[in-house]
A and B are shown apart, each in its own frame.
Chain A
Amino acid sequence: QQQVKQSPQSLIVQKGGISIINCAYENTAFDYFPWYQQFPGKGPALLIAIRPDVSEKKEGRFTISFNKSAKQFSLHIMDSQPGDSATYFCAARGSTLGRLYFGRGTQLTVWP
């Protein structure tokens, strides 16, 4: 059973465009929602994270939007750059300890 559902599986965006990746969850006990970025041959790296008491968090060109009632959250990459081409994973966790549940990932390609 997939605890976190992520879409789309792949995304192609023109340089300068907006990339949007969506995730949905069912478990209302989740209280921490990070996004990870992974380049080929590397481990995933934390990009940005949000808690459910906040509806939006922005760090540079990266923004998380969180909709608690809909149990959905999304990553927006503004002014997408070729260097943003990577695989992005959303995740969720239910307590301060314990596993992170990951989405299946989105492969983003930004064309110059």
Chain B
Amino acid sequence: GAGVSQSPSNKVTEKGKDVELRCDPISGHTALYWYRQSLGQGLEFLIYFQGNSAPDKSGLPSDRFSAERTGGSVSTLTIQRTQQEDSAVYLCASSSSGRALYFGPGTRLTVT
């Protein structure tokens, strides 16, 4: 079946612009996660959704970052007034069992 999909795959933006990153989870998966991975670095947790609510948003680095999930499916991660330090690969994952996370291919964000 279809896996987690993310769009765009690559995004180049100018410093100060807003960007929206999209995640389509595996159909039926109730849990959705956003992680960030900087070049050669580990996986930094950003936010977790169960259904449309976000019980854990403690990883969002600043108030420039926000995320929403609608219809228990698609999620959008928005970064306002992007900074160069926001450059990273943004990974989305979904889960049905609360155990295994299935990751998408990521969106590579470059802020110039």
Q: Which residues of A contact B (CB under 8 A)?
A: 32, 34, 36, 41-46, 49, 89, 93, 95-105
Residues of chain B within 8 A (CB-CB) of A46 are 100-102
Smallest CB separation, A5 vs chain B (Å): 11
Interface centre among A44, A46, A96, A104 (most CB of B within 10 A): A44
Smallest CB separation, B94 vs chain A (Å): 11
Which A-chain residue is minimally distant from B35 (CB atoms)?
A102
Residues of chain A within 8 A (CB-CB) of B31 are 97
Residue contact A99 to B33, C-beta cutoff 8 Å = yes
Which B-chain residue is minimally distant from A6 (CB atoms)?
B42
CA distance A49 to B41 in the complex (A): 22
Which A-chain residue is minimally distant from B93 (CB atoms)?
A43
Q: A97-B50, A98-B48 are in contact. Are A44 and B98 (CB under 8 A)?
A: no
Q: Would you list the 6 A-B pairs with minimal beta carbon distance, nearest first?
A: A43-B103, A96-B98, A104-B42, A102-B43, A97-B98, A99-B45
Residues of chain B within 8 A (CB-CB) of A34 are 99-101
Residue contact A42 to B99, C-beta cutoff 8 Å = no
Residues of chain B within 8 A (CB-CB) of A32 are 99
CA distance A49 to B42 in the complex (A): 19
Cβ-based interface call for B105 (8 A): yes
CA distance A98 to B33 in the complex (A): 9
Residues of chain A within 8 A (CB-CB) of B70 are none
Residues of chain A within 8 A (CB-CB) of B50 are 97
Tell me which residues from 31 to 61 in chain B have a Cβ below 8 Å from any Cβ of chain A. Answer: 31, 33, 35, 41-43, 45, 48, 50, 55-56, 59
Residue contact B42 to A89, C-beta cutoff 8 Å = yes
Residue contact B103 to A45, C-beta cutoff 8 Å = yes
Q: For the A-B complex with A42-B106, A45-B103 known, give 15 more contacts whose Cβ atoms are closer than 8 Å.
A: A36-B103, A43-B4, A43-B93, A49-B99, A89-B42, A89-B43, A95-B98, A96-B98, A97-B55, A98-B55, A100-B101, A102-B42, A102-B43, A102-B45, A104-B41
